[in-house]
Amino acid sequence: SLERRDFTGADPRAVLKEVFGYDDFRGDQGDIVSHVVGGGDAVVLMPTGGGKSITYQVPALVRPGTGLVVSPLIALMHDQVDALIANGVRAAYLNSTQSPGERAGVEQAYLDGELDLLYVAPERLSVPQTTQLLQRGTLSVIAIDEAHCVSQWGHDFRPDYLSLGDLDERFPGVPRMALTATATRATHQELTERLRLPQARHFVASFDRPNIQYRIEPKVDPRRQLVTFIRSMPEGSAGIVYALSRKSVEQTADYLAAQGLDALPYHAGLPAEMRAKHQSRFLREDGVVMVATIAFGMGIDKPDVRFVAHIDLPKSVEGYYQETGRAGRDGEASIAWMAYGLGDVVQQRRLIDQSPGDRTFKMRMGQHLDAMLALCETVACRRQNLLGYFGQESEPCGNCDTCLTPPDTWDGLVPAQKLLSTIVRLQRERNQSFGAGHLVDILRGASTERIRQQRHDELATYGLGSDLSDQDWRSVVRQLLARGILVARGEYGVLAVGEAGAAVLRGEAGVPLRRDVLGRGSNSGGSRV
């Protein structure tokens, strides 16, 4: 548009309407915008699809100067900038895909005060020249998107984010915002510290997506299970099927297509034209099932995705939440379906073991996996478990598989007591504590070098748990951790009795566990313990 209105100092709601075409702010958006327009810092925790972009785009237009947006995903940057330009916003980006000439053009536009929004990748900001350039112009607000990437313990750590800690010194007086859709209590605290936002106001939206029904089932015949699930959806439902590997994506897409479903593959190894074609068919046509690696979905704005299916176990609860969150953005009933099996667990443990990270890193990844498995194995409401993971308390939802069809359980009280008393004895008698692996070895009566060396075969509980397999025991440990009966401490994840453990030791609380967990057959369980 030739006649571009200057929105500096305008009413935020008028900008929302005129530029973005929305009648009203949603949820916390209005409060966040007025806080930032007033010059305040903000930490914004809002689920995917919650509408985070508006909360920095509107202040960027209303405050004098250019809004700087730090975003790690170059592909997303293109899309966001294109969408903004289509709305008449003067937006541009600086990243490694540009030619020097293009970059120079954007830099000049910034210096001339001709940009409302400038997107940069975090690594750009660790280059001193970028800071010098930005200091010569005027910034209205700095928005750090995907702020959880600064968390070294998170599932998506990016070292470049660490350099964003001193933006307050580089750009004093410019309000800063950290935004993320994945924040456990620990990540929330860590990003607030690392991005130095002690004065920020915190806006924490509910992470509940009530229109999504969660269903998780053990793998028996995964492809057939998947087809049965997809066929149970209304005709013409669009959906995403997530698989871990490219090969699995292609094979699954072929299989679904052979079953007469309109399924297309999508992963980073496919030619760009094919990816673009599949994406546009998914966006424009009804009933396309996209079979994809997790590379697909970020920044894809399709509100009527009716289901998200996982045929491989996600690496973390954060990842699961983010991926399933792509279903039902329009608020209509949608389903998050998953099948998981022992093979997934073995594969993921191997990936963790073979990863180049140090011991602490591997331990953290192992904890992410365990939390994911605890969600799979819970006898309680899936949503309660999921929201609890993000620090949000809730009642059983009535709209997940465990609420709708309570699973078959067995009473794990006796094995739980055996484990807890082993921990207590080691602590009291020898002042020792151990991680799950060694404790399970003791209970199963294993004859490892460590057990012989430490004379743990002399403990009263040695061999008392040989009726359960190693896998069963791991599952028991995960459930006890998830319920606070056990707690894991320190760098090595040594186990201690948690707050809820005392009642279990006294036999005053039941420990219901699922029968259908992993290798566990439907007839095994209670009677054996």
Q: Is 53 in the site for ligand ADP (CB under 6 A)?
A: yes
Provide the minimum distance between the beta carbon of 80 and ligand ADP in the complex, in angstroms, as a whole number.
8
Q: Which residues in 115-144 contact ligand ADP (CB under 6 A)?
A: none
Q: Name 204's bridge partners.
A: 45
Question: For residues 497-519, b (16+ Cβ closer than 10 Å) or e, as one string?
Answer: bbeebeebbeeeeebbbbbebbe
x/- mask, ligand ADP, residues 343-382, rule CB under 6 A, reads ----------------------------------------
Give the one residue of 19, 28, 37, 52 binding ligand ADP; rule: CB under 6 A.
52
Contact partner at residue 489 from Zn ion, ligand ADP, none, CB < 5 to 8 Å by partner kind = none
Using the minimum distance from each CB to ligand ADP, give the nearer residue, 48 or 422: 48
Contact partner at residue 48 from ligand ADP, Zn ion, none, CB < 5 to 8 Å by partner kind = ligand ADP
- Which residue blocks in 355-500 are alpha helix, DSSP H? 359-377, 382-389, 401-404, 413-430, 436-443, 449-454, 470-482
The strand order across the sheet containing 334-340 reads 212-218, 334-340, 305-310, 238-242, 289-292, 263-266
Q: Is 51 in the site for ligand ADP (CB under 6 A)?
A: yes
Q: Which residues in 20-49 contact ligand ADP (CB under 6 A)?
A: 22, 25-26, 29, 46, 48-49
Contact partner at residue 397 from Zn ion, ligand ADP, none, CB < 5 to 8 Å by partner kind = Zn ion
Give the interface with Zn ion as residue ranges (CB under 5 A). Answer: 381, 383, 397, 400, 403
- For the chain, the C-alpha Rg in angstroms (whole number) is 26
x/- mask, ligand ADP, residues 298-337, rule CB under 6 A, reads ---x------------------------------------
Helix (H, G, I), strand (E, B) or coil at 63: coil
Q: Is 50 in the site for ligand ADP (CB under 6 A)?
A: yes
Q: What are phi and psi of 473, to 5 degrees?
A: -65, -40
Find, among 101, 110, 157, the residue nearest to 131 by Cα: 110
How long, in residues, is the chain? Answer: 529
**What is d(CA 248, CA 289) in angstroms, rounded to the nearest whole number?**
15
Provide the minimum distance between the beta carbon of 393 and Zn ion in the complex, in angstroms, as a whole number.
14
x/- mask, ligand ADP, residues 261-300, rule CB under 6 A, reads ----------------------------------------
For the chain, helix, strand, coil in percent to 5 are: 45, 15, 40
Contact partner at residue 80 from Zn ion, ligand ADP, none, CB < 5 to 8 Å by partner kind = none
Provide the minimum distance between the beta carbon of 306 and ligand ADP in the complex, in angstroms, as a whole number.
17
Q: Name 117's bridge partners.
A: 67, 91
Contact partner at residue 301 from ligand ADP, Zn ion, none, CB < 5 to 8 Å by partner kind = ligand ADP
Burial class (CB in 10 A: 0-12, 13-18, 19+), 198: exposed
Using the minimum distance from each CB to Zn ion, give the nearer residue, 133 or 403: 403
Q: Using a CB cutoff of 8 Å and minimum separation of 24, what contacts does 453-456 make? A: 456/426
Provide the minimum distance between the beta carbon of 479 and ligand ADP in the complex, in angstroms, as a whole number.
32
Binding residues for ligand ADP (CB under 6 A): 22, 25-26, 29, 46, 48-54, 301
